[in-house]
Amino acid sequence: MPAPPNLTPEQIAKAAERKAAKLAKKKSLADGKSELSDEQKMEIERRRFLKRDWVSVGANEGSGKERVKIVTWNILAQTLVRRELFPGSDCLRWSDRKAMLLAELEYHSQADIICLQECDRVKEYSTSLPHHTPIKGSGPGKLHGLVIFYRTSKFFVRSTKLIHLDEEPLSHSRQEDDGARWRGGSRQTKNVGLIAALEEVDGNGRGIVIATTHLFWHPKYAYERVRQSIILLRNIRQFQADNECDSWPAIFAGDLNTQPSEATYQLLISPHNPLPQAMVDEITSSRIVHDSVTKISPSSELPQSSSSNAATGSNTPAAREDDEGEGEGEGGGEGEGELPDNNERSIANTRPPRDDDGILSVEELVSAMRDISPQKGAKSAYGNTDWSDGQTFGNRGGFEHIQGQGEVVGRGEPAYTCFTPLFRLTLDYLLLLPPAQNASETEIISVYAPPKIEELGEGLPRKGICASDHLAIGCELAW
């Protein structure tokens, strides 16, 4: 093919040189004559992880609209790593995990917003995200917390808020009573939620509200997860009103520690559908009160005291820099060692609720969720889009134990977002809240494709696959 006539002879010669150099390099690599040193090869191997593609799910791919790409990931705090939780894993020591985590975060730097849970090494992770700035928040005494990284060339922070879920009111109608009745909590969890209003640098007042959390983990505390979800949704809506960003899209992202076949998910996505009896029973059996509720600070028990502090400057405690081994935990047994536990020991030190505990009935919880979302529930990036290759929560039999499944939703969620040798669950979500008044419709146009189950090996964390027990998920929005 003749050279384009607008190129000079010098330009044609340089183009030929570049092409020849590329071909020579390609041939050299094919012949095994790479110039990489052994140390470089080892570093490449240490940084190797399972890369996935983004797949389109929107009808028009958001043509001509504002677009934002979001990733959320429970990164697995080193302080929570236990050998007994991950038998057979080859990737538990920090020296083994670090390079993989940094490499995967660097891969996710294409996203505009990155939400992390169980994050205990913010400074180190920031090196993989040089064009992003972190907003941090953590529960009292925790060695890890929540982080929202945002691209500074695209956004600036209008406002942030850190929600202490143990201390927030569940029932506003009971504020005249004592603090416990006001909160309606079943135990001390130290869980928090982090909300940020991110305004576009050149958006003429446009922006996005992003909220992330890590809900209470224990499998027998469904009531507490529903309670925490209600508190967070209510706070997101109030935050939007207080900061005059009702018209912005609002995203609720994180490790919700609930599967689609459980009550918390169903109430978030479809609060106006009747709950199957199995989910009603799930909440009813978890309406118990743990002795730890007495540990909640008395100063927060009065309704007039504010329990939600601005997240700006609320630092996640630093992990020990010499922690090269497996984590040693926190909280004297009250922490988040997420070992599956279905025996009766798991609900020791609990009692049935009394009137002065403020524990709501199932009907009251459902009503509260419907009040927050009077028309419809949240839209899931995966559960409400057609991304699927067949490996979904529904297809893996996730609803098999629910009799008369009826109008349950969530069959299209990923088959797994947490995949370990001991437990394999769908726990992580990206939820688009219903538009508030005067808000423009937001469209989910692509998602970060979940891996094939066969690609995950015997269970995470695993070298060459993922250095966390959870898988990152992501979506792209247009509005």
pLDDT computed for residue 308 by the predictor: 35
Place of tokens 């990931």: 73
Mean pLDDT, residues 327-332 taken together: 42
What pairing do the DSSP bridges indicate for beta strands 192-200 and 155-164? antiparallel
Q: How many CB atoms lie within 10 A of CB 227?
A: 28
What CA–CA distance (Å, rounded) separates 379 from 265? 11
Where would I find the H helices in 317-361? none
Q: How many CB atoms lie within 10 A of CB 330?
A: 19
pLDDT of 221-275, one tens digit each? 999 999 999 999 999 999 999 999 999 999 999 999 999 999 999 999 999 999 9
What CA–CA distance (Å, rounded) separates 194 from 310? 9
pLDDT of 7-61, one tens digit each? 665 666 666 666 666 665 566 566 655 678 888 899 999 999 999 999 999 776 6
pLDDT computed for residue 301 by the predictor: 39
pLDDT computed for residue 309 by the predictor: 36
Residues in CB range of 294: below 8 A, 6 or more apart: none
Confidence of residue 320 (pLDDT cuts 50, 70, 90): very low
> What average pLDDT does the chain have?
86
All structural domains of the chain, each given as residue ranges with its CATH number in brackets, are: 49-164+189-270+308-355+374-478 (3.60.10.10)
pLDDT computed for residue 322 by the predictor: 39
> Out of 63-67, 81-85, 302-306, 467-471, which region has the weakest mean confidence (pLDDT)?
302-306
Supply angle C-alpha 223, 228, 234, rounded to 5.
130
pLDDT computed for residue 310 by the predictor: 40
- Higher-pLDDT residue of 321, 136: 136
Mean pLDDT, residues 212-219 taken together: 97
Confidence of residue 366 (pLDDT cuts 50, 70, 90): very high
Mean pLDDT, residues 134-144 taken together: 96
CA-atom Rg of the chain in angstroms: 24
What CA–CA distance (Å, rounded) separates 195 from 212? 7
Question: What token pair was written down for 100?
Answer: 């993989």
pLDDT of 422-452, one tens digit each? 999 999 999 999 988 777 789 999 999 999 9
> Using an 8 Å Cβ cutoff, are 463 and 89 in contact?
no
Q: How far is CA 169 from CA 163, 179, 295, 433, 454, in A?
A: 11, 8, 17, 21, 44
